Structure 1
């Protein structure tokens, strides 16, 4: 009989610490907008091909805009656009290119010359910046923000 009582006594002694741990975490201040922006926040979008593409935002206002899109609060300016960098990024390893973080923004309507699917850009990456996606500018019309990565 002593053994179960000892176990219960030990658990009872730990209970206040277990209950206090989440409260202590909640007492910690949330990171500032500047701190979040310094590290960057990664988001994922899909296009009509259902492929996934991850990009990083560092501008606090754009981070908040992306979060409003995901929550459904923003329903107008919801598509992703930006300038392509022809090297992979550690957060978007599947593809041989990524979007330059400080160039990313959102749009409602785009011009045809900057529209392409994720895999089409990959397949024609050597042509990007010429007649195909001039200025390295990409605005996939069917881009749909799906989630914050992290």
Structure 2
């Protein structure tokens, strides 16, 4: 019985993650489609986690860029952590890591379920396992993530 309860709990957690991640992302894609046709450039931010390592995040949607800037300026403390789907390939703007966030999936949160939480170094060390039981759907939500600065490309 305990085994069945555990499996049901894991399935419920995975379903919750799928609904949490897919629901807003789909709405943002529809809403952001017209926005992305503009020539507004992407913005780059450095995040860190409990390990102190730095990870560069590329944001492409105006409302999310503004939210990130508001977090850095102290204008808001709401939804300070990052969530999004990762790509298991390096990005030119984030050369120290073998993965990066897919820009159009990045969002901010206050609380998330445990199944998507991991530090940046842990994701790097277990990247070949990501997408299965570890980071289902390649969704990553480091609970201790926070933005520390914006990178101004010139």
TM-score normalised to the size of structure 2? 0.73
Equivalent of 2:124, from 122, 125, 136? 122
How far, CA to CA, are the matches of 1:62 and 1:145 in structure 2?
12
Q: Give aligned pairs, total.
A: 118
Is contact 1:86–1:97 with CA below 8 Å preserved after alignment?
yes
Aligned-residue offset at 1:38:
3.9
Aligned to 1:40: 42
Shift, 1:36, TM fit: 8.3
Q: Which has the larger radius of gyration?
A: 1
Give a deviation string over 1:86-127, Cα, whole Å, max 9, x none.
000011000000000000000000110000000000000000
Query: Which residue among 53, 56, 59 is the counterpart of 1:54?
Result: 56
Q: Counterpart of 1:139?
A: 141
CA–CA separation in structure 2 for the residues paired with 1:110 and 1:70: 21
3-state DSSP of counterpart to 1:39: coil
RMSD: 1.7
Provide the C-alpha distance between the structure 1 equivalents of 2:69 and 2:89, rounded to a whole number of angstroms: 26
Q: 4+ residue stretches of structure 1 with deviation over 2 A?
A: 33-39
Which sections of structure 1, spanning at least 5 residues, go unmatched?
1-32
Q: TM (normalized to structure 1)?
A: 0.75
Alpha-carbon distance change, 125 to 37 in structure 1, aligned in 2, over 3 angstroms = farther
Deviation at 1:39, TM superposition (A): 2.5
Is 2:150 aligned against 1:148?
yes
